[in-house]
Amino acid sequence: MRVRELGHVVLYVRNLERSRRFYRDLLGWEEIALWGERAALYSSGRTHHELLLIEVGEGAHPVPPSPRVGLYHIGLKIGDSDEELREAARQLQEAGVPVVGTADHTVTHSLYVLDPDGNEVELYVDVLPADRWREEPDLILSPVRPLRL
């Protein structure tokens, strides 16, 4: 057996409509389908769905604070330039979504935000061509530096 790619992520959410506004309207993820009244599927076009949101209700337990076992964050590529990342930061600010972290990972530049349920989402741009980090895989392990946009 060999994993060939990450197929999809499934998140339980308290309120489907609130999460749809975040993932579809703010992040611009294409909503492929609603599954009944309590689930929605999203795709960037790479596969049938990359994200599935399932509503579990407002009484669900919140994401526990760190350190914890389980999901740390999901990373979503939003482009290949700092200009695209600056535009994303502007849109997040306009929407009232705080950026909770930033990072220069050498191969990527990243903004970190929380979705409506407290799940951390990394929005990143690739700033080095893939052939560069494939030839020099240690670049991926570069120390994290402050991001200068």
- Does an H or E element contain 86, and which? helix 82-95
Contacts of 58 by beta carbon, 8 Å cutoff, 6+ apart: 14, 15
Average pLDDT over residues 82-92: 98
- Residue 9: the pLDDT is 97
Please tell me the CATH code under which domain 73-149 is placed: 3.30.720.110
Domain with CATH 3.10.180.10 in the chain: 1-58
- Residue 110: the pLDDT is 98
- Residue 117: the pLDDT is 97
pLDDT tens for each residue of 102-131: 999 999 999 999 999 999 999 999 999 999
- Residues 53 and 23: beta-carbon distance below 8 Å: yes
Question: Whole-model pTM?
Answer: 0.95
Domain with CATH 3.30.720.110 in the chain: 73-149
Torsion of CA 64, 89, 24, 39, to 10 degrees: 0
- Residue 26: the pLDDT is 98
- Residue 76: the pLDDT is 97
44: nearest Cα among 5, 18, 73: 5
- Residue 61: the pLDDT is 95
Rounded to whole angstroms, the Cα distance separating 81 from 125 reads: 6
Q: List phi, psi (to 5°) of 123.
A: -105, 120
Classify domain 1-58 by CATH architecture: Roll (3.10)
pLDDT tens for each residue of 18-65: 999 999 999 999 999 999 999 999 999 999 999 999 999 999 999 999
95: nearest Cα among 27, 29, 41: 27
Tokens standing for residue 26: 């703010």
For residue 40, the SS3 value is strand
- Residue 105: the pLDDT is 97
Tokens standing for residue 64: 């526990």
- Residue 141: the pLDDT is 95
pLDDT bucket at 100, cuts 50 / 70 / 90: very high
